Each structure stands twice: as structure tokens, then as C-alpha cells.
Amino acid sequence: MRVGGIELGGTKSIAVLADGRDISAKTSIPTGDDPHHTIGALVDWLETEAAGSELGAIGIASFGPVAVNPSAADFGFIRTTTKPGWSGAPVRGPFAERFRCPVAIDTDVNAAALAEQRWGAAQGLGTIAYITIGTGLGVGVVVDGHTLHGHLHPEAGHLLLRRAPGDDFEGACVFHGDCVEGLISGPALAKRFAQLPSEVPAEDARWNSPASDFAQLLATLICAVSPQRILLGGGVGLGRPQLLDRAIDLIPGLIAGYLPDLTIDVLRKMIVPAGLGADAGPLGAIAVALRALDG
């Protein structure tokens, strides 16, 4: 069955057509500050590319926070966000108005986790978490094929965690300052280092504090969610492997013997780069669409 997928990112957005997981057409556009223009361009492209064929479903994988509960009054709308112009923007509605098929929506990180469980590095596992570190920091959780929803969806990027002794970096989150997103996202690292993270050598001691912050997040997810695998994506997550390596080394000390089976060797198999790499986003949107078809 042919489906459409939309990965709505904070910097760029991708639209795809696919037969199952096989992508047959794809486009990418900047996610500008005018949501009506961005969403309209994605709707128009999908309608043009799908002309003459019936879409079984459309899956939207959106940056957040976004209302994903169908009973919510603002279902399918972006909630308060730091991206200019997008607070209160309708995401799902324009697609539902134009296409006569189910239109499902989830967060980009939940969708990526769903794709990894279906096709990637978490196949056969029941409970997984997916972390993306880039312009922001997001965490998605899947349990037995279902993405985690409740009042909203996981917003673990805004957890306030224990800081490394002596680290007085004030953080970069406009809401919380030194939440984990405000400490280790791409913009946060650039502010902390006063230069692009890609320019800081892997052996530089300045990575120690961000690694401590990341280890706190990983240890918190291990204790709170009990994932069988934690997958890492995003430009910072995939592009700066020293951050993950240093963080894993710190986790046993944070857990402090409470989970003695989580040795360094076990943790290095549990916490790994995303198997689908840069394709996790668009494949996540496809996975959301296929899930809608599956019922």
C-alpha cells in the first residue's frame, strides 16, 4: 500500500512517498518561520506526487511539543515552542483537509524509535528509547510497538538533572536554562565552548562536563523506563562519538552498584547509534503511516 510521510524538523522538512518502507519519491524544504507556507508546500508536493494513485495513510513525524492525543482540543497543533512563528500552528489539519485517508501524527523522536524497532537496530526488542541530539534534544519511547503518549508525550530533553561538580555553565534553554537540552544540544555546546562543537577535538577536556550531563540523562532513562536498548541519533549525537563514549564510562558510577549487571560491556551494547542513521526521520514518518493502516 502506498503511503505518504512527512518529517517536520526544526530546520528542514522532508516529504516522501513510499510503498511499504521503500521510498519512491522524496523532497526536502527549509522549515521557515511561516508554518502556513511550509506546511502548504509539503501538502502541495504530496498531492502532486501522489496524483493518480490512492494513498492508504499519511504519517507525520513532527518536532514538538505537539498535541498527539486525538481527544485534545488542539490535536495536531504545535504547542509552545522556541521556533519563531510555530507556537499554535496546525500541522495535521491541512493534510486531513486535502487527503481522503487516515492522517496520523507523532513526535519525530517517537516516530524514529518506531522505525528503529520495526526495521533498525531495535528489532525484536519490546522497550526502547531513542535520543536525538541536534538543534534540540528529544527522547522517544516505544513499548511493544506503541509509542509513549499520555498527557502529552515524553519531554525528557527538559529534565533538570544533577550537574557535574564545578560546572557553572548557565545553559541555553530559554525556558529552563540548564535542563539537559540547554546543556548538550548543538546550540548549547556552541555557547558553552564559544565555538562550533565540530571544531572542538575529541580529546579536549571540555567534553567532560557535557559527557557528565549526558550520562545523567542516560542513567535516568535506564532507571525510569528500563529500556532494552537506547539508540542515539541527530547531528551532535551521531557526529560527536566521544560524547557517548565518555558518558557510558560514567554510568556505573551514577548507578552506584544498584544494577550490578550493567557493566561497561553491557552498556556499550545497550546504548548504540541508531541503525537507520539519517533515514530514521523519514522512515519514522512512514512507520507512523503504516501503524495507522495496521490499526
What mean pLDDT do residues 67-89 have?
A: 93
CATH number, domain at 240? 3.30.420.40
DSSP structure class, residue 240: -
One domain for residues 136 and 201: yes
One domain for residues 142 and 241: yes
One domain for residues 23 and 150: no
Domain count, the chain: 2
Whether the predicted pLDDT of 25 surpasses 90: yes
One domain for residues 40 and 140: no
175-196 pLDDT per residue, tens: 899 999 999 999 999 999 999 9
Whether the predicted pLDDT of 282 surpasses 80: yes
Query: How would you classify the pairing of strands 2-8 and 12-19?
Result: antiparallel
Band of residue 159 on the pLDDT scale cut at 50, 70, 90: very high
One domain for residues 226 and 240: yes
Domain boundaries, position 16: 2-109+278-294
With DSSP H G I counted as helix, E B as strand and the rest as coil, what are the percentages for the chain, rounded to 5?
40, 20, 40
* Rounded Cα gap, residues 14 and 61, in angstroms: 10
* Rounded Cα gap, residues 264 and 125, in angstroms: 20
b/e map of 61-74 (b: 16 or more CB within 10 Å)? Answer: bbbbbbbbeeeeee
Residue 289 lies in a domain: yes
Whether the CB-CB separation of 43 and 29 falls below 8 Å is answered with: no
* Rounded Cα gap, residues 293 and 33, in angstroms: 32
Which has more pLDDT, 228 or 20? 228
One domain for residues 146 and 237: yes
At residue 120, the pLDDT reads 95
At residue 151, the pLDDT reads 84
Whether the predicted pLDDT of 295 surpasses 80: no
**Residue 176 CB burial class (10 angstroms; 0-12, 13-18, ≥19):** middle
Band of residue 239 on the pLDDT scale cut at 50, 70, 90: confident
124-148 pLDDT per residue, tens: 999 999 999 988 899 999 999 899 8
One domain for residues 105 and 14: yes
Element (H, E) at 216: helix 208-225
Band of residue 241 on the pLDDT scale cut at 50, 70, 90: confident
Query: How would you classify the pairing of strands 229-233 and 271-273?
Result: parallel
pTM of the model: 0.92
At residue 1, the pLDDT reads 83
One domain for residues 211 and 231: yes
Residue 114 lies in a domain: no
One domain for residues 236 and 187: yes
One domain for residues 28 and 129: no
* Rounded Cα gap, residues 107 and 244, in angstroms: 23
* Rounded Cα gap, residues 44 and 79, in angstroms: 24
At residue 148, the pLDDT reads 87
One domain for residues 88 and 128: no
Band of residue 53 on the pLDDT scale cut at 50, 70, 90: confident
